[in-house]
Structure 1
Amino acid sequence: MSIQYGIALALAYVLSVIAASAILIPLRNEASATANTDFAAKNTVTVVVLVVLGTLTVTLSGVLILAPILRWYVAGAEPTPDQAEAAIKLGGRQSVILAVTWAVCGGALLLLNLDQGAALLVPVVLGVVFGGAAAAGTGLVLAQHTLRPIMAAATRGAEPRLKVPGVFARLVLLWFLCSALPIAIIAAFVVLRSYGWLIEKSASLDVPVLMVSLAAVILGLPVMILTSRSISDPVGEVVDAMAEVERGNIVSYVGVYERSQIGRLQTGFNRMVTGLAERDRLHDLFGRHVGADVARRAIDEGASLSGDVVDAAVLYIDLVGSTKLAESRPPQEVAEVLNDFFRIVVGVVDEHRGLINKFEGDAALVVFGAPLWTDEPASAALAAARALGVQLSQLAAVDFGIGVSAGRVFSGDIGAENRYEYTVIGDAVNEAARLADLAKTSDRRILCSAAAIVRADTAEQKRWTGSYSTVLRGRSEATHVSAPVADP
């Protein structure tokens, strides 16, 4: 990057020499032949030496001011406030280097030709002033490709501070350099000749006009390309980052270091991505607390109290002896046992497309068929109960009871407008909870009601056998209870 940066400054200096020559050479050609001969004999070598020395000076100076910045940038380290400040001021420092180099070289040339008179010195002064300004401006455009990622790293997370021309100002400047300025110079030649100032009235303007036209063509193309790239490159970065976001990579970030319309566009994109990341994080946390289906339903329907009465199946699972477990083991160990227990519950429920409506201490209420409709909610609930019985029996530290029921339930949000939760309410919920208590003393630790068996498909019904009828705690009517068929 140091070499690339040095070459950019050297190229800016050389291009500014060509631009200054577009003024200096035509005006010098209109001086007397003797004066031109004396000037050429005395200054040809000097001009070449000054151009070479100036080019080497700006190149080496650019490498030197960039070196300390590259130490932390290449290492990928976070810059200190002083290092970030130095990086932000890099563009101004390079402009000073280019302008001062031009001033020193131009001053040396003027000192060597004080005896030549105003007719020869005025073009030199004009060329130095124009060349210095052209060098500083061209340097900023040429070095922008190298400086952009450095500035982005130095200003990451902060508001851009570098003031640069906006898009409109750049286009106007492009028009001025490539169109208005050459035309103005040609018009100046015509005015100077008409009054005999610096150019004799009898002199031909063919060569001056030709030189200015060639300079406009030679310099116009690179200036137009560089100006276009100063706009298209950062816009292209935003477009590429938007494509990454579209593919799901919401950690995309574009560098921002200039205070212009482009800088505001980049800042706006970064803020948008930050908002998307925050939204996804909240969506993920929301989904983990209430379930992905409930979260999706809340996002689709908005913050309103609503619900429906639907056919659903309910599975209730409760641990046995959790109080004794908490008394005999350290809290951290109890938490680990519960996490292992609920990890299995969550995995099985997700596999059978159920919703864990809530965790109640050492118990869980699971719903099938709400809030998302499914074809066979009772079959899914019964299959999930059997799978849970197999997997939970492998945990030596826990015992459990599982109850399954089905029927018409209210499925929706209850509470207040500013604080509510999704839940299911109905007789099937109460029946499943009572069956889970009763199942804690059964052989397979799983019981279901006839309502669930009736609503299941034939294949699932064959996996259950009727056991007995009983009046569950808190109910007035008897419930026909079934248990899974023992594996052969």
Structure 2
Amino acid sequence: MGLTCAHVSGLIAAAVILIPLNGHTGRPVHDFFAGKNLLTIVVLVVLGGVAVWVGGVLNLAPALRWFSLGQEPDPQQRRTATKLAGRQSLILVMTWAASGMAFILLNRDAGSAVAVPALLGVAFGAAAAVSTSLLLTQRPLRAILAVAARDSEGIVMVPGVLARLVLMWLLCSALPCGAIASLMFIKANGWILEKTAAVEIAIVVVSLAAVLLGLPVMILTSRSISDPIHEVIEAMAAVERGRTSTSVAVYERSEIGRLQSGFNRMVAGIAERERLRDLFGRHVGADVARRALQEGVSLSGDVREAAILFIDLVGSTNLAANRPPQEVAQVLNNFFQIVVHAVDRRHGLINKFQGDAVLAVFGAPLSVPGAASAALATARLLRDQLRQLPLVDFGIGVSAGSVFAGNIGAENRYEYTVIGDAVNEAARLADVAKTFAGRVVCSAAAIDRADQAERQHWASRGDTVLRGRTTPTHVFVPTGTSA
């Protein structure tokens, strides 16, 4: 359809070029459209349209066989796809050349009076048809070329942006001006135009040709630059919205193609970094991952006030011995999922999964207002939620105090952790909690650092000596239900 419409536009351009020559070529132009010439022109137009239609179908059919089925083309099909635009232009040029030669041969008795204007009309008509066909078919052809060029840097060698703009200037400005100068010289010698012909006729002819050929050429050139850039802009907007799987098609080898392929590589790098960051964050926590990306490889750390929550399962060894591995894994996953959601809700950090135990930190690596209150509220919430799980018993200990929070290890292998008496105390309180009905115990250090609203949910249970210690620790247990 695009080729046929382009062929018709070429016929209109040829007619517009020939009409101003009426009465100035030695033979009136109406003779071209009268008698047998009129029948000849009609036949040539119809045959030319059929030839263009059939040629366009035959040109496109091989590519449509794999493109319409969503198949990946083989190397030969890729090479064939690169020639689609060139072949369609060749179809139009050959059709116009054959029609022009046939018309000239049928009017050979008229000599140059018919041959020269006919050649002029064929030249302008064919040029208009070719440029219009590229304008009308570039989008569907681009879709095929994009698939053919997939996973490559483009398969079509085309002029760069500067060369396209220079070519557009030649066709739309330099060539018409040169044609005007040439026609004036030809008129002065009486070769095509009569010497008595007005100079305005030559200007009208060339001006019409410049308008008819320049507009599609200008549109084609500008769209060949603006369309790919617009695709990149839309893809950039999609990436800004978080769609890092976005990519643009690369179908030519030029600055535009390098821009498209460069954008794809950049987005692939962003997607890979986000994937690694997400994976890293799942292992060490989002806040720790963000800090590591900002600070790089460093074994630094600092001492800060933090609250520690330690939770340990009871009887996990017997559970593993008496249940299938898949069931044990499901129980542990349900347990860890509840713990992670509860800790995240209060902006805590899951620092470690230690078999069937979890160490959570509030107040590191990022300072959290009311870290002790957040840890105590999380412990109460976990007490209620974990009771709903079958086959699960637990102990939760909460403490608070000064801890070292930072990277421990070597530069090529380290982990973020917290070290301090509060950590050890929370672990031992978790053991003590297994002997209490509520399964949750905290130290006085945590209660002292909590706000008044949170303290109201806790009651003193006296002093107890924790494992490995000689001095007693004052402990508290929650009262009522969590908010």
Is the TM value for this pair above 0.5?
yes
CA deviation string 1:408-432 (max 9, x = no partner): 0011112222222111111100111
Residue 117 of structure 1 corresponds to: 111
Residue 375 of structure 2 corresponds to: 381
Residue 170 of structure 1 corresponds to: 164
Residue 350 of structure 1 corresponds to: 344
Paired amino acid for 2:334: D
Return closer, same or farther for 1:38/1:91 CA change in 2, 3 Å cut-off.
closer
| C-alpha distance in structure 2 between counterparts of 1:89 and 1:12, whole Å | 19
Q: Determine helix, strand or coil for the equivalent of 2:364.
A: coil
Candidates 442, 445, 448, aligned match of 1:448 = 442
1:285-304 alignment, distance < 5 Å? 285-304=279-298
User: Alpha-carbon deviation of 1:186?
Assistant: 1.8
CA deviation string 1:238-277 (max 9, x = no partner): 2222222222333333222122222222222222222222
Paired amino acid for 1:99: V
Question: Is 2:274 the counterpart of 1:280?
Answer: yes
Q: Determine if contact 1:470/1:480 at 8 Å carries over to the other structure.
A: yes
Moved more, 338-347 or 265-274: 265-274
User: Alpha-carbon deviation of 1:117?
Assistant: 3.1
Question: Is 2:73 the counterpart of 1:80?
Answer: yes
User: Alpha-carbon deviation of 1:126?
Assistant: 5.0
1:11-410 alignment, distance < 5 Å? 11-20=5-14, 30-33=24-27, 37=31, 41-66=35-60, 69-70=63-64, 73=67, 77-81=70-74, 84-118=78-112, 120-129=114-123, 131-410=125-404
User: Alpha-carbon deviation of 1:407?
Assistant: 0.2
| C-alpha distance in structure 2 between counterparts of 1:246 and 1:35, whole Å | 62
| C-alpha distance in structure 2 between counterparts of 1:405 and 1:473, whole Å | 15
User: Alpha-carbon deviation of 1:315?
Assistant: 0.7
Question: Is 2:446 the counterpart of 1:472?
Answer: no
CA deviation string 1:53-93 (max 9, x = no partner): 32333234324544564566556x24332655544432222
CA deviation string 1:75-112 (max 9, x = no partner): 6x243326555444322221222122122212322332
CA deviation string 1:197-245 (max 9, x = no partner): 3444444443232222223234433432333223222222222222222
Question: Is 2:408 the counterpart of 1:414?
Answer: yes
| C-alpha distance in structure 2 between counterparts of 1:226 and 1:395, whole Å | 68
Return closer, same or farther for 1:66/1:318 CA change in 2, 3 Å cut-off.
same
User: Alpha-carbon deviation of 1:454?
Assistant: 1.2
| C-alpha distance in structure 2 between counterparts of 1:479 and 1:38, whole Å | 114
User: Alpha-carbon deviation of 1:354?
Assistant: 0.9
Paired amino acid for 1:278: E
Return closer, same or farther for 1:117/1:430 CA change in 2, 3 Å cut-off.
same
Q: Determine helix, strand or coil for the equivalent of 1:480.
A: strand
Residue 3 of structure 1 corresponds to: none
| C-alpha distance in structure 2 between counterparts of 1:195 and 1:302, whole Å | 81
Candidates 455, 458, 476, aligned match of 2:452 = 458
Q: Determine if contact 1:22/1:212 at 8 Å carries over to the other structure.
A: no
Candidates 422, 425, 434, aligned match of 1:431 = 425
Q: Determine helix, strand or coil for the equivalent of 1:472.
A: coil
Return closer, same or farther for 1:258/1:214 CA change in 2, 3 Å cut-off.
same
Q: Determine helix, strand or coil for the equivalent of 1:477.
A: coil
Q: Determine if contact 1:30/1:203 at 8 Å carries over to the other structure.
A: yes
Paired amino acid for 1:157: D
Q: Determine if contact 1:257/1:263 at 8 Å carries over to the other structure.
A: yes
CA deviation string 1:159-218 (max 9, x = no partner): 211222332222222222222222222222222233343444444443232222223234
| C-alpha distance in structure 2 between counterparts of 1:258 and 1:54, whole Å | 31
Moved more, 189-198 or 158-167: 189-198
Return closer, same or farther for 1:33/1:392 CA change in 2, 3 Å cut-off.
closer
User: Alpha-carbon deviation of 1:42?
Assistant: 4.6
Moved more, 354-363 or 22-31: 22-31
How well do the aligned residues superpose, as a CA RMSD in angstroms?
A: 2.8
| C-alpha distance in structure 1 between counterparts of 2:300 and 2:462, whole Å | 39
CA deviation string 1:357-377 (max 9, x = no partner): 011111111001111111211
| C-alpha distance in structure 1 between counterparts of 2:29 and 2:232, whole Å | 57
Moved more, 391-400 or 54-63: 54-63
Q: Determine if contact 2:403/2:422 at 8 Å carries over to the other structure.
A: yes
| C-alpha distance in structure 2 between counterparts of 1:126 and 1:225, whole Å | 24
Paired amino acid for 1:405: S
Paired amino acid for 1:252: T
Q: Determine if contact 1:415/1:421 at 8 Å carries over to the other structure.
A: yes
CA deviation string 1:141-169 (max 9, x = no partner): 33113322333234333321122233222
Q: Determine helix, strand or coil for the equivalent of 1:33.
A: coil
| C-alpha distance in structure 1 between counterparts of 2:46 and 2:172, whole Å | 26
Identity of counterpart residues, as a percentage? Answer: 62
| C-alpha distance in structure 1 between counterparts of 2:172 and 2:47, whole Å | 28
| C-alpha distance in structure 2 between counterparts of 1:444 and 1:401, whole Å | 9
Return closer, same or farther for 1:74/1:37 CA change in 2, 3 Å cut-off.
closer
Q: Determine if contact 1:294/1:422 at 8 Å carries over to the other structure.
A: yes
CA deviation string 1:358-405 (max 9, x = no partner): 111111110011111112111111111111111112222122111111
Moved more, 317-326 or 345-354: 317-326
Q: Determine helix, strand or coil for the equivalent of 1:163.
A: coil
| C-alpha distance in structure 1 between counterparts of 2:404 and 2:101, whole Å | 91
Q: Determine if contact 2:372/2:449 at 8 Å carries over to the other structure.
A: yes
User: Alpha-carbon deviation of 1:451?
Assistant: 0.9
Paired amino acid for 1:173: L
| C-alpha distance in structure 1 between counterparts of 2:155 and 2:481, whole Å | 73
CA deviation string 1:117-154 (max 9, x = no partner): 35543444454455445433432233113322333234
